Structure 1
Amino acid sequence: MQNTIIARTFAEAFYDIICDSKDKKDLLDQLSFLVKCIDEQHDFHTFLITPKVSYVAKKDFIEKVFRGKLHDTLVDFLQVLTNKGHLSAICDIYREVESLQELEGSKVKVFVTTATSLLEDAKSKIKKTLEKKLSAEVVLVEQVNADIIGGFIVRVEDTLVNGSIKHHLEKIGNCILERSKTYGI
């Protein structure tokens, strides 16, 4: 949870910086390329995440390897991450930046969790209903989790609607336990 908050915070800061830049597309492409390199190069990834490598060594590395090859804004951002001790979160930050880019304009990302995969007709109906309710274009992200037994869970940003059967059964069970305590059963 803490890593998600850190990644989202830095992603929002980076996205705010580049939003009005004429080089926005280049910056996003360069960040994408960098993250791809990190994912593909195990040694590079290890270098970034290991606490045994000092932040000074990491800063020097970033300066020598990337300055002049990547956009200065991106290199400066990497230096800030290094100073704050969050360079290892760059991949998570990139995923959050992707989400922000996806949501640019009047789009809203909605996560729908069901016990089984939704049929296309059901997805379409859910999407239309949510678009009407939220007054925005919905980017539907389907998640399947058999543990919820049935029903659905919908998450929009920080709002969660839990209509799962598992959730309702837990509420009923808690209610029965409370009543049994009240009546000494």
Structure 2
Amino acid sequence: MQNTIIARTFAEAFYDIICDSEDKKDLLDQLSFLVKCVGEQHDFAVFLATPKISRVVKVDFIEKVFRGKLHDSLVNFLQVLTNKGHLSALCDIYREIESLQELEGSKVKVFVTTATPLAADLKTKVVNALKKKLSADIVLVEQVKADILGGFIIRVEDTLIDGSIKHHLEKIGNCILERSKTYGI
């Protein structure tokens, strides 16, 4: 969860820079290319993630290799990530930026987890209810996880609503344990 928050925070900050730039498409293309390289070049990914290599060395590497080849805003962003110790989160940050692009405008991405796939009519009801509640178009991302037993889990940005049977059973179990301690059972 912490990595997701870090990735989202940096993604939102850099996405603001991207949106304010006249070179928005180029910046996004360069970032996409860089992330692809990290994914394909194992040695490069290891270099970025290795804590034994000092931040100073990584910042210098980024300056020498990318300055003049990539947009200055992207190079500066990479150096900030390096100085903050989050360069290894670059791929996660890019995924968050893709989500922000997808949601550009008045759309909200909502993750719904259920034990079984939602029926079409129920999916429509959920989307309509969320659309009314959030006053935005909804991009519904369905996830099926049988281990929640039933019910649903809804995540909208940093808000989590856990209406799963598993969650309720755990709460009941914890309550019983607390009461048994109180009464010495």
* TM-score, with structure 2 as normaliser: 0.88
Q: 1:93 & 1:145 partners in 2: Cα distance?
A: 25
Answering whether residue 145 of structure 2 is matched by residue 145 of structure 1, we say: yes
Alignment partner, residue 9 of structure 2: 9
Pick which of 73-82 and 51-60 moved more: 51-60
Q: 2:67 & 2:106 partners in 1: Cα distance?
A: 35
| Pairs within 5 Å for 1:23-42 | 23-42=23-42
| Pairs within 5 Å for 1:4-153 | 4-153=4-153
The secondary structure found in structure 2 opposite 1:143 is: strand
CA offset at residue 174 of structure 1? Answer: 4.2
Q: 1:148 & 1:159 partners in 2: Cα distance?
A: 18
Q: 1:69 & 1:120 partners in 2: Cα distance?
A: 49
Answering whether residue 179 of structure 2 is matched by residue 171 of structure 1, we say: no
Q: 1:85 & 1:125 partners in 2: Cα distance?
A: 43
Pick which of 2-11 and 21-30 moved more: 2-11
CA offset at residue 55 of structure 1? Answer: 2.1
Where structure 2 has 5 or more consecutive residues not aligned to the other structure, the ranges are none
CA offset at residue 16 of structure 1? Answer: 1.6
CA offset at residue 91 of structure 1? Answer: 1.0
Deviation sequence 1:121-150 (CA, Å, 0-9, x none):
332332122112211011111111111101
Alignment partner, residue 155 of structure 1: 155
The secondary structure found in structure 2 opposite 1:133 is: helix
Identity between Structure 1 and Structure 2 (%): 83
Describe the shift of the 1:174–1:49 C-alpha distance in structure 2 as closer, same or farther (beyond 3 A): closer
Q: 1:83 & 1:121 partners in 2: Cα distance?
A: 49
Pick which of 170-179 and 77-86 moved more: 170-179
Pick which of 126-135 and 34-43 moved more: 126-135
Q: Which amino acid aligns with 1:3?
A: N
Aligned CA RMSD, in angstroms, stands at: 2.1
Q: 1:84 & 1:157 partners in 2: Cα distance?
A: 23
Q: 1:184 & 1:62 partners in 2: Cα distance?
A: 62
Where structure 1 has 5 or more consecutive residues not aligned to the other structure, the ranges are none
Count of residue correspondences: 185
